Structure formats: C-alpha cells, structure tokens
Amino acid sequence: MYDRKVIRRRRAVLAGCVALSLLLLTMHFGESSSGPLHTLQRGAQEVLSPIESGASKVFKPFRDLFNWVGDAFDATDENKQLKKELADARTELAEARTAARDSEQLRRMVDLEKEPGFPDGMNPVTARVIARSSTDWSSTIQINKGTSDGVQEDQPVITGDGLVGKVAQASGGTATVQLITDGEAAVDAAIVPDGTSGVVRTPVGDPDDLQLDFVRDVEKIEKGQTVVTSGFRRGELESLFPRGIPIGTIRDVDRDELETYNRVHVDPFADFRRIDLVQVLTGGGS
C-alpha cells in the first residue's frame, strides 16, 4: 500500500513539472525581449558563462590528450601499413631482379652453345647454385642437380660466359663442382687461333690469378687473345674437357729467355663471385 502511494505521488510531481515547463515555455515565447523570463535567462547566462569557460579551459588538456592518443594510434596503424607495403614492394622488386638476372644468364648459355667452335653433341643440364665454399686454398659450389638428372663426376660445368669447372662429386639430387680457380684444379687449354697450348691453373692462395702454365713459344702470344679448352688426346689419354669451351683472354705474359716454359696470365670470362645458374655438359662430344 505504501509503495502505491509513493508511485502516485511521484507521478503527480512529474506531471506538475511537465505542466510548469510547458507554461514557462509558453510565457517565454509569448513575452517581449524585456520580459521577466528573458531577463532571468540573461542573468543566468552571465553567471554560468565564466563557470562554463573555466570548465572548458580545465578540461581542454584532457580533450587534447584524448585526441592526441587517438591520432597516435591512427598514425601507428598507418605506419605499420606503410611498412608492410614497402616490404612487399621490396620483395617484389628483388624477385623481379632475380628473375631478370636468371633470364639473362640462361640467354647467355644458349648463345654460348651456338658459338662457332663450341663442342657438339653435348646435353646441357641446367642447375642452380645452392651453396658456396671458397677459401684461399679451395673453391667449390654445390648445385641442385645430381645423378638422377644425368650428372656424373668429371663432367664440364659452364655458365653463359664460359668454363667454370667440373663435377667433383655427385649424388642423387645434388653435386659438388670444383671451380677452375681451385688450387688443385687443372685444365688443358689452347690459345686461339695459333694453337699454343698449356695448362690453366691457379696458384694456391691466389684464386684471382688464373695462369696458363707450361707454354713454350710466347713470341706470337698477344694480349686479348682467347684461351679455350684444348680437348687434347694422346694415345689413351684424353682431356676431361671437350675442345672449344671458352675460358678467358690473355692479360699478360711473363717472358724469360732463361726459362724453358713461360707463364701467361689469363682473365677468365666467368665471374666466379656471381654464379647463380650453371650448365653441366653431360653426354659426349669433341
């Protein structure tokens, strides 16, 4: 019973407030600007305005901080998105450059095989370099093709520039290539067109100095002449490398009248520090 009385009383108060509000609004809109209600409104505004202004100034730093935090989060998200887009662009650029470089190397290998004098009857197997091991005493690379692809030990290995080495070891899916810059490597070679022959090798500890050793007659040798594999045959002995694979050009000649043999320095065609793709010359030929 008590609760119902309280409810009825609250409803009556609420109805009275609503009626009073409607009455005041009607009187406010109906009186002139100099009326008592307008005068009361102006007085209230003059009293509350400083309070409102002060409150606005007090809370302004908090509003600014809130806005700064929001802007900071937006900037962070935008920065992350920009970094991701930049990383994606760099990845795409690297992939495009790699593809272009691979395409260029493949094109040069095809062109090399069309050169006059390049050995016939070869079956090239293209492979990618997957590892490198280079010191002052040895220089090898590992490729992603092996015996299951027809790759066998002692087969010549080339790039689009020329000879780089031979297969030293081969397994089912990979092979190790001994580069001609290895201290233990040796390649029977000849200077064209005169046919002066020798052995291309690298002094141990100096892989940058490719040399053609055991050359007898150096009088006709000139800088810029081309050195190729000789493909020699002497009785049962036969070179591992068929004749005609380019090796490099003559850079300098050490002439010594007191020596039986002279040494010729060779600039290799191949860039041994930038080998990505190679071809193993499987099959036969001469």
- 241-267 pLDDT, tens digit each: 888 899 999 998 877 655 666 788 999
Which stretch of DSSP H or E encloses residue 88? helix 36-113
Compute the average pLDDT of residues 79-89. 74
Compute the average pLDDT of residues 103-126. 80
Structure tokens at 41: 């409104």
Structure tokens at 107: 């094109």
The predicted pLDDT at position 60 comes to 63
Percentage of the chain with pLDDT > 70? Answer: 65
- Amino acid identity for residue 55 in this structure: A
Nearest to 125 by CA among 178, 95, 170, 189: 170
Measure the CA–CA gap between 24 and 20, rounded to whole angstroms: 6
What tens digit of pLDDT does each residue of 147-200 get?
Answer: 999 999 999 999 999 999 999 999 999 999 999 998 888 999 999 888 888 899
The predicted pLDDT at position 54 comes to 52
* 247, 200 contact by CB (below 8 A): yes
pLDDT at 237 > cutoff 60: no
Compute the average pLDDT of residues 56-68. 62
41 phi, psi to nearest 5 deg? -65, -45
Q: Comparing 8-17, 134-143, 196-205, which segment has the lowest mean pLDDT?
A: 8-17
Quickly state the pLDDT bin for 128 (edges 50, 70, 90). very high
pLDDT at 141 > cutoff 90: yes
Structure tokens at 48: 């509350």
pLDDT at 130 > cutoff 90: yes
Q: Comparing 62-71, 147-156, 197-206, 270-279, which segment has the lowest mean pLDDT?
A: 62-71
Map 216-262 to HEC letters.
Answer: CCCCCCCCCCEEEECCCEECCEECCCCCCCEEEEEEEEECCCCCCCE
Higher pLDDT, 134 or 87: 87
Nearest to 268 by CA among 194, 176, 179: 179
Quickly state the pLDDT bin for 72 (edges 50, 70, 90). low
Quickly state the pLDDT bin for 24 (edges 50, 70, 90). low
Which regions of 151-216 does DSSP assign to beta strands (E)?
Answer: 156-158, 163-170, 175-179, 187-192, 197-201, 210-215
Nearest to 119 by CA among 284, 239, 277: 284
The predicted pLDDT at position 215 comes to 84
Structure tokens at 264: 């010729």
The predicted pLDDT at position 232 comes to 73
Q: What does the mean pLDDT of the chain come to?
A: 77
The predicted pLDDT at position 48 comes to 47
The predicted pLDDT at position 122 comes to 83
b/e map 27-60, b = 16+ CB within 10 Å:
eeeeeeeeeeeeeeeeeeeeeeeeeeeeeeeeee
Q: How far is CA 24 from the centre of its chain?
A: 79
Measure the CA–CA gap between 43 and 145, rounded to whole angstroms: 95
